[in-house]
Structure 1
């Protein structure tokens, strides 16, 4: 029987007091907490399975509330995400619910979050994102960026500045979103990394590649976390390693 293994962890990093990241894997959510060790879950491959991370927007209020809300909505609606339209609809729902929650509490005005993840279906993986959290695929011994960063391109001669061009919530006036969505074949041995920018900003791609080439599951998750911490741990670090296999 084919199955999906998800190994995940979430950590505030070394400089942030709070963890504003959240994570969902099937019905399981992890919000505003610290996992001292990677957590591994195994699911049968059949009905839709969603694995995603949400990263509350730093410098704006209640990022942990926005990311947790999105994780709970994805967990609730995950079994019904049977195609691209369903994924777009649930992301639109997430966006509207973040704005609605912000409107109910003035202290939460402009709260928002990114989201990135994958929905595993029979034969297909639907990759989605809004913002700059990422989904990286592993193919032929190398990494492939499957998501699309919502950051403006750097101006010539200027340093790249991390500014979001879209997010779930995040503004005073409600606005729509245009989620990025890509369908990739769910081939035997499929493997991907879903993560917030607390991993990909400080850790170079070649280091991530080396870790995934040498390790799998819990050891790989731990080594990725360690690489982010050794690079200064400037942001919350949340990641999920997803792979398929047979029992």
Structure 2
């Protein structure tokens, strides 16, 4: 049976006081905590395996609550994510859950809490990629690094100019807003690796640096070197990432 090796870490960076990122890998979650050494886990692919990152919105109190809620909710439904519609339904459910939790704090500090989410569902022979917001999923292979997710950000030449705004997220407003998750399916072959990360990694580091590190290092070492490079670049935001490798039986 094929299996997946997941190497992950989460760190607040050098500027933010709180880590508002969360991560899920199968039943395991890492919510608003601090790790500098990658945690490596091995999962059989007998049932769908979900690996995802969630970035609580900066500037909106309760981002850490929203991202943790989404990570734990995805972990609970992961075994049933057997197709694109199931993934869309799960993301919609997460959006409603964040909105409901914020609504329960109507007028309070968490009333507009929100989060991004980006992840993969691994099954033998196929990979489902999903995201809402600007956290990312890459494929890392012999032909280099390829972005598989879709950034929900204003275009660079828009009136907003360079911006960290997201055009959709889970929660993030006092009134309910539906989301349209980006979900795609592609073949999955043993030996292929994926990089999942929040924008605390991709904003300070260009894709060329990510590609170089992924080419030079395996699994946990790649995760550590990516984190180290983001910190060396100023660590302006929370940094959460997972390197996922699929291997033969």
TM-score range, shorter chain: over 0.9
Would the aligned equivalents of 2:19 and 2:64 in 1 still touch at CA under 8 Å? yes
- 1:156 CA displacement: 6.4
1:122 maps to which of 99, 121, 124: 124
Q: What secondary structure is seen at the aligned counterpart in 2 of 1:108?
A: coil
TM-score (normalised: structure 1): 0.97
Partner of 2:50: 50
The 3-state SS of whatever aligns with 1:107 is: coil
Conservation of the 8 A alpha-carbon contact between 1:22 and 1:238:
yes
> What's the counterpart of residue 168 of structure 1?
170
**Which one of 195, 217, 223 corresponds to residue 219 of structure 2?**
217
What whole-Å deviation, never above 9, does each CA across 1:105-132 have from its counterpart, x for those lacking one?
1221110000000000121100000000
Question: TM-score with structure 2 length normalisation?
Answer: 0.97
Give how far 1:85 is off: 0.7
How far apart in 2 are the matches of 1:127 and 1:56? 20
Give distance in 2, aligned partners of 1:156 and 1:85: 32
CA contact (8 A) 2:2 2:124 kept: no
**1:23-67 deviation line (CA, Å, top 9, x unaligned):** 000000000101131000000122000000000000011000000
* Unmatched segments (≥5 aa) in structure 1: none
Indicate if the aligned counterparts of 2:36 and 2:224 stay in contact, CA closer than 8 A: no
Q: d(CA) in 1 for partners of 2:136 and 2:98?
A: 20
Change (3 A) 1:157 1:174: closer
Partner of 1:136: 138
Long gaps (5+) in structure 2: none
Give me the whole-angstrom Cα distance separating, in 1, the residues matched to 2:163 and 2:62: 22
Count of residues paired in the alignment: 247
